[in-house]
Amino acid sequence: MKMLFIIILCFLGLSSFAQPLTPQTVSIQMRDSKFLAADIYIPDTEEARPTILIQTPYNKLYYRYGLPLNVGINLSSSPYNFVIVDWRGFYASAAAAVSGMNRGQDGYDVIEWITQQEWSNGKVGTWGPSALGKIQYETAREQHPAHICAVPLVASPEFLYQTYYPYGVYRKEYVDQLDALGYGMSATLLANPHFNATWTYIENLYFYPDRFKIPMLLIGGWYDHNIIEMVKYFDDMRELSDISVRDEHKFLIGPWAHGGFGMAQVGTEQQGELFFPEAAEWSTVKALEFFAYYLLDADNAWPTANPSIQYFQMGDMIWKQTEIWPPEGLTPRVYYLTSEGGLDTNEPTIPNGFSQIVYDPRDPSPTVGGPTLRQDLQQGPYDQSLEVESRDDILVFSTEVLAEPIMVLGKATVTLHVSSDRLDTDFAIRLCDVYPDNRSMILCDNIFRMRFRDGFTVNDTNFMQIGEIYEIEIVMPDLAHTFLPGHKIRLDVSSSNYPRFDNNLNNGGQMYVSGDTLIATNKVYHNSERISKIEFLSDEDTKNQIVKKSEIKIYPNPANENLIFTINEDIDARYFEIINITGQVVFKGKIAGCETILNISDLNQGTYIVRIFSDKEIESLRFEKI
């Protein structure tokens, strides 16, 4: 319980010593006559306002120490009411548990109750990360007319076999954490380790983008374990949701981990061992702009002023935009594994090259950072060189020190030619950025179970023949990263990544039960006849130059009386807007040459966004008024 309290405080950016808010507490009756417990936060009972609804399985009480979206404990500053509801079956709503719970219908009933209150103006938006994001999709599916918009963070509504068994390997740490949070999913999942009729039914049940009639702002992270599912579902929404909102869905992807514990949360500057000040709080800034447009009728031109997809290009440390993912006009790049542990742009010429791993399931390669969830594991970008790459059960393939920047946009694909002296084994890969100081920072990872190389049903199972060489292809999660000059691209190949993925016992027997543990000698081939490689899409425009950061500068920051912004003469800027933290435009003006001086003494203290419009693009920068 104490750990969960710390989680909430970290996410809200609050101190445990803050004086708590005192909400109204109510019981909201559902259609089956059960009641859900809710806390109600109302800034001004004399003025009807739109409402932000948050539905949580993690105890509504913790929001008394501060509300999200930069409200904290300063409720009077909010233009919104907040309604925080415990899920049916959790915490103060535990008594409402029934079999076959439909949480989307619960969300509908809560919204219906909100619209009947005198403090409600009849508009409801929803917000929340992870499980609090999933329930927003379920609520939107039910199509309450007062549900105006939704902001799901690091969440997808789908329940896919590949989410829990990527390439057939059980995601142990993920499900361990879900069990610890009270979902109790491991028994059902472990009873269905193959793709079967149960999975077909579940996947169809949780696929419903055609039911959405409201605009959504999806917020994801490159280090989040949901990024694959979110990219897929965003495309599904833009193709299948109601035609009236298809073009209004937006996707913001930052350099963020999933969050849930520790300091790495969606929108925080620190992620793992790295810092991303250029992306700090951007998730909140954009959510507030989105809510202001749809709930406050703010004149901030949200649908046209924001691209369909805004993403953070790690390495370059800049925000970029695109209408489709991955962006158009990219060029494939290929790096070949070599016998010397290299990644080379030339195909190997030697006829017999291979490298070998001796993998002992009793001593698996450890999980260090990455897209994890379990609270005892590190989350986000962490150095692999000390605990992972220093072991003798891993193959490390690196480029030479880069003389030019190399971009990765989209999904990298790793093709390996492999063999083993066991009937079954795994091949795990990690893609890393090696810094000039030799830190090897993980970007993304995946794993492949050899018995599933022909498919994931029971009938697809095909064990290895000792000494036979097989080709496998492993697709990595989506990524936007630039390897800078002075760095190296690195691919780590092992046969385990534990406990992120369950370790293969190598015995070819029933999975996920105790049994004989066998040591496997696994080989990766990299020669002229058996080519192993990594390939990805890249932007060739960066081949001979580093991508420049913003050519628009604002200073001083923080500012008091005057704010100055300078613009490169090559940018055809036309006008600018200043938007407050609630997403409302408070000032508009024309650009006057390469330098504009603006008197901001009349602005209230707080966070603002300067948005500068040119013929080709819109650039946003944040500043503090003191």
Taking CA atoms, 139 is separated from 14, 46, 215, in Å, by 29, 29, 13
Burial label for 436, CB within 10 Å (0-12, 13-18, 19+), is exposed
Strand, coil or helix: 10: helix
* Residue 476 within any structural domain of the chain: yes
Are residues 474 and 416 in contact, defined by beta-carbon separation less than 8 angstroms? Answer: yes
- What CATH number corresponds to the domain at position 601? 2.60.40.1930
* Candidate from 278-282, 404-408, 456-460, 537-541 with smallest mean pLDDT: 537-541
**What's the average model confidence in pLDDT over 485-501?**
98
Write the Ramachandran bin of 452: left for phi over 0, alpha for psi from -120 to 50, otherwise beta. alpha
> Do 458 and 560 sit in the same domain of this protein?
no
Last residue of a domain, one of 151, 178, 193: 151
8 vs 66: CA distance, rounded Å: 9
Q: What's the whole-model pTM score?
A: 0.92
> Do 132 and 110 sit in the same domain of this protein?
yes
> Do 104 and 134 sit in the same domain of this protein?
yes
* Candidate from 120-129, 368-377, 473-482, 593-602 with smallest mean pLDDT: 593-602
* Residue 236 within any structural domain of the chain: no
> Do 447 and 473 sit in the same domain of this protein?
yes
Q: CA quadruple 155, 161, 166, 170: dihedral positive or negative?
A: positive
557 vs 563: CA distance, rounded Å: 8
pLDDT score for 3: 42
Give the count of beta carbons closer than 10 Å to the beta carbon of residue 624: 13
**What's the average model confidence in pLDDT over 584-602?**
82
Strand, coil or helix: 378: coil
Query: Model confidence over 49-83: pLDDT tens digits?
Result: 999 999 999 999 999 999 999 999 999 989 999 99
pLDDT score for 193: 98
* Residue 264 within any structural domain of the chain: no
Query: Model confidence over 181-224: pLDDT tens digits?
Result: 999 999 999 999 999 999 999 999 999 999 999 999 999 999 99
H runs (alpha helix) in 432-572: none
> Do 420 and 486 sit in the same domain of this protein?
yes
448 against 569, higher pLDDT = 448
Domain that holds residue 586: 552-625
* Residue 475 within any structural domain of the chain: yes
Closest by CA to 555, choosing from 597, 589, 523, 520, is 597
- Cα 176 to the center of its chain, rounded Å: 20
> Do 569 and 523 sit in the same domain of this protein?
no
Per-chain mean pLDDT for the chain = 92
**3-class DSSP string for 25-66:** EEEEECCCCCEEEEEEECCCCCCCEEEEEEEECCCHHHHHHC
Are residues 446 and 429 in contact, defined by beta-carbon separation less than 8 angstroms? Answer: yes
Q: pLDDT-derived band of residue 620, with 50, 70 and 90 as boundaries?
A: confident
Query: Model confidence over 123-156: pLDDT tens digits?
Result: 999 999 999 999 999 999 999 999 999 999 999 9
Angle between helices 103-115 and 131-141 (to 10 degrees): 70
pLDDT score for 11: 52
Residue with tokens 């158009």: 328
- Cα 237 to the center of its chain, rounded Å: 17
**Element at 597 (helix H, strand E):** strand 595-599
- What CATH number corresponds to the domain at position 337? 2.60.120.260
Q: How many structural domains is the chain composed of?
A: 3
Q: pLDDT-derived band of residue 15, with 50, 70 and 90 as boundaries?
A: very low
Sheet with 606-614, edge to edge strand ranges: 585-590, 573-580, 606-614, 618-625
Q: Is the pLDDT of residue 551 over 90?
A: no
For residue 138, the number of C-alpha atoms closer than 13 Å in the C-beta half-sphere is: 25
**3-class DSSP string for 286-351:** HHHHHHHHHHCCCCCCHHHHCCCEEEEEECCCEEEEECCCCCCCCEEEEEEECCCCEEECCCCCCC
* Residue 265 within any structural domain of the chain: no
* Residue 145 within any structural domain of the chain: yes
Taking CA atoms, 46 is separated from 42, 121, 584, in Å, by 10, 12, 22
Q: Is the pLDDT of residue 175 over 80?
A: yes
> Do 481 and 571 sit in the same domain of this protein?
no
* Residue 197 within any structural domain of the chain: no
pLDDT score for 556: 86
Last residue of a domain, one of 130, 151, 172: 151
Query: Model confidence over 74-123: pLDDT tens digits?
Result: 999 899 999 999 999 999 999 999 998 999 999 999 999 999 999 999 99
Q: pLDDT-derived band of residue 548, with 50, 70 and 90 as boundaries?
A: very low
Position 504: which residue type? Answer: N
> Do 491 and 557 sit in the same domain of this protein?
no
- Cα 484 to the center of its chain, rounded Å: 23
Q: Is the pLDDT of residue 547 over 60?
A: no
260 against 325, higher pLDDT = 325
pLDDT score for 553: 78
Q: Is the pLDDT of residue 391 over 50?
A: yes
pLDDT score for 585: 84
Burial label for 345, CB within 10 Å (0-12, 13-18, 19+), is exposed
> Do 392 and 418 sit in the same domain of this protein?
yes
Q: Which residues pair with 472 in a beta bridge?
A: 416
511 vs 504: CA distance, rounded Å: 8
Q: CA quadruple 372, 373, 378, 381: dihedral positive or negative?
A: positive
> Do 522 and 597 sit in the same domain of this protein?
no
> Do 393 and 503 sit in the same domain of this protein?
yes
Q: pLDDT-derived band of residue 515, with 50, 70 and 90 as boundaries?
A: confident
pLDDT score for 543: 44
For residue 372, the number of C-alpha atoms closer than 13 Å in the C-beta half-sphere is: 28
pLDDT score for 349: 94
Last residue of a domain, one of 151, 171, 205: 151
- What CATH number corresponds to the domain at position 46? 3.40.50.1820
Taking CA atoms, 423 is separated from 66, 419, 454, 465, 494, in Å, by 54, 10, 14, 6, 17
* Residue 564 within any structural domain of the chain: yes
Antiparallel, parallel or unpaired: β 585-590 and 533-538? unpaired
pLDDT score for 16: 46
For residue 565, the number of C-alpha atoms closer than 13 Å in the C-beta half-sphere is: 29
Segment 165-169 long-range contacts (CB within 8 Å, at least 24 positions apart): 165/193, 165/456, 166/446, 166/447, 166/501, 167/446, 167/447, 167/448, 167/449, 167/452, 167/474, 168/193, 168/448, 168/449, 168/451, 168/452, 168/456, 169/426, 169/447, 169/448, 169/449, 169/501, 169/502, 169/504
∠ CA 612-245-119 to the nearest 5 degrees? 85
579 against 451, higher pLDDT = 451
> Do 453 and 565 sit in the same domain of this protein?
no
pLDDT score for 310: 96
Percent of all residues in the chain with a pLDDT value above 90, rounded to a whole number: 80
pLDDT score for 604: 87
